[in-house]
Amino acid sequence: MKVTTERLEDCQIKAVVELDAAEIDKKLRETARKLSRQFDMPGYRRGRAPFHAVIRIFGREAVQQQALEDFGNELYEQTLEEIEFEPYEAGELEEVEWDPFRMTILVPIQPEVDLGDYRDVRVDYEVEEVTDEQVEAYLADLQQEHAQWVPVERPAAMGDQVVLDMEGKAGDELIMSNEGYEMVLEPDETYPLPGFHEQVVGMSAGEEKTFTLTMPEDESEEEVAGQEADVVVTLHAVKEQDMPELDDDLAMMVGDYETLDDLRDDVRTRLETEASQKAESEYLDKVLDAFVEAATQIEYPSQAIDRETDFSLNQMERNLAGSGLQLDSYLSMIGKTREAYRRELRPAAETRLQRRLVLNEIGEREGLAVDPEEIEAEIERMAEMFGPEGQEMIATLQTAEGRLMVANDLLTGKSQERATQIAKGEAPPLDEEAEPEEDVGEPDSEAETGAPETAGEEETGESAQESPAPEETEDGDSEDAGA
């Protein structure tokens, strides 16, 4: 067996496996012997059909295909031992030639990242200042939340809430019918029809009014689109909004505050906390993007983007299922196919992949690690947080796989913290760092966990778990050996 490899772009290895005539002849004969045991062949006892008879009955191509399924996985495993790279996932069978035998496999390998002078990366950290106008806008929203609608004895005006019956027809088609309907009159509102709110303005409780409006040209029911509609409205009540004063009473109404100044101070503190949290979240993304930009190499196989995209799609499917909606139903509602939606997810998935790759590399370059005590402490913290209801989850975390997941999450957190320290110019010198106590591997998303798969049926045929039976001395085989 001879294996030659060629390094391609995007972290792919092209491996060519060659077998000499004697090797491939032996494997074909082993497969023919297997077929002769499995099938009855006219003129021969089960298991006694000679090689040339099997070839004649099944055809050479069929025997070759079966042979590839029998020994393809074995050749693939041997090929992986020959190449100098760690596979990212199962390789893909690209081509097979039989005379002479050459099997070409494309093997995706692990992403490669060179951060360059990553310790020189700097990103300004800014928290948006909370203004007096933002505080007052927040207080105005509180006023709005605690406002009440009170009846008034006057004609309706914009901004009022009205209670009315309405019925509308376009020709003989009933287009609206509602009784006791509550609505707030707003300028430029187009529901239920453009101009409807303006027609109600000026009406008083107990008044009935008939008017004509034009149906929109883009109306979903084409038979009435653009037609004139006769509308009858009976107004039952007019209400205006009673806005509470912005004073100490409002402060006591919305919370445990003695004065409006106490409320105003607390609102400012809340807005400042939100601004700080928003800045921290956005800052990490900016930092990782800066590391991506500064890196001299970020290379990965296309399968890595596929996997990340699938993870996003699966996450969306789980989120929708939690709300009782199937993904396909949602896509039908927004007029998109699953494949089209998947293409939309791909750019964002690639951005996340690049960010995670540089983050993983930072953790490795910085010598970050997680020790067993940290893992135990995190599991205990989660146990306290979830209480008795979370015991099943905690039991899962205590397994080897669960502990690795916790370790990866902790290591990701450490890497994120170190990345922001570097970007702010606050990272400790590398020579002062302690040696890692335990290597727990690189953090990864659900989309990238698990060991690389071995070749599957799609690439190299069924797994050859059964070794060929010892060769038997067969009448047919002996007389065909020299053929």
pLDDT band at residue 171 using 50, 70 and 90 as cut-offs: confident
* Fold category of 2-109+459-480 in CATH: Alpha-Beta Plaits (3.30.70)
Q: What is the pLDDT of residue 466?
A: 37
Q: How far is CA 6 from CA 3, 111, 407, 441, 443, in A?
A: 10, 16, 36, 28, 30
Q: Smallest Cα–Cα separation from 104: which of 10, 21, 20, 13?
A: 13
Tens of pLDDT, residue by residue over 67-88, are 999 898 888 988 898 888 889 9
DSSP class of 104 = E
Query: Which tokens sit at 62?
Result: 């069929």
Contact call for residues 119 and 425 (beta carbons, < 8 A):
no
User: Average pLDDT of the chain?
Assistant: 86
Q: What is the pLDDT of residue 356?
A: 95
Distance CA 410, CA 443 (A): 8
* CATH of region 148-242, choose from 3.40.50.300, 3.30.1050.10, 3.10.50.40, 1.10.3720.10: 3.10.50.40
Tell the residue number behind the tokens 């939100």, with chain if given. 274
For the chain, domain boundaries: 2-109+459-480, 119-147+246-294, 148-242, 300-451
Distance CA 179, CA 164 (A): 6
Distance CA 222, CA 302 (A): 46
Tens of pLDDT, residue by residue over 422-480, are 999 999 998 654 444 444 444 444 333 333 333 333 333 333 333 333 343 333 343 33
Distance CA 26, CA 468 (A): 11
Tens of pLDDT, residue by residue over 347-399, are 999 999 999 999 999 999 999 999 999 999 999 898 888 888 778 888 888 89
Architecture category of domain 300-451 in CATH: Orthogonal Bundle (1.10)
Query: Which tokens sit at 467?
Result: 């070794």
Distance CA 70, CA 1 (A): 16
Q: Where are the beta strands (DSSP E) in 185-254?
A: 208-214, 228-242
Tell the residue number behind the tokens 């490669």, with chain if given. 112
More confident residue, 221 or 265: 265
Query: Which tokens sit at 97?
Result: 């030639």
Q: What is the pLDDT of residue 220?
A: 67
∠ CA 221-223-227, rounded to 5°: 100
pLDDT band at residue 96 using 50, 70 and 90 as cut-offs: very high
What DSSP string describes 268-309?
HHHHHHHHHHHHHHHHHHHHHHHHHHH-SEEE--HHHHHHHH
pLDDT surpassing 80 at residue 187 = yes
More confident residue, 4 or 118: 118
Query: Which tokens sit at 184?
Result: 């707030």
pLDDT surpassing 80 at residue 314 = yes
pLDDT band at residue 219 using 50, 70 and 90 as cut-offs: low
Contact call for residues 139 and 263 (beta carbons, < 8 A):
yes
Q: Smallest Cα–Cα separation from 283: which of 139, 149, 122?
A: 122
pLDDT surpassing 90 at residue 44 = no
Q: Give me the percent of the chain exceeding a pLDDT of 70.
A: 89
pLDDT surpassing 80 at residue 39 = yes
What DSSP string describes 30-89?
HHHHHHHHHS-BTTB-TT---HHHHHHHH-HHHHHHHHHHHHHHHHHHHHHHHSSS-BSS
Tens of pLDDT, residue by residue over 242-254, are 999 999 999 999 9
- Each residue of 228-243: b (16+ CB within 10 Å) or e? ebebebbbebbbbeee
Query: Which tokens sit at 272?
Result: 């400042």
Distance CA 80, CA 76 (A): 6
Q: What is the pLDDT of residue 374?
A: 95
Strand (E) or helix (H) holding 154: none
Tens of pLDDT, residue by residue over 269-280, are 999 999 999 998
Tens of pLDDT, residue by residue over 111-148, are 999 999 999 999 999 999 999 999 999 999 999 999 99
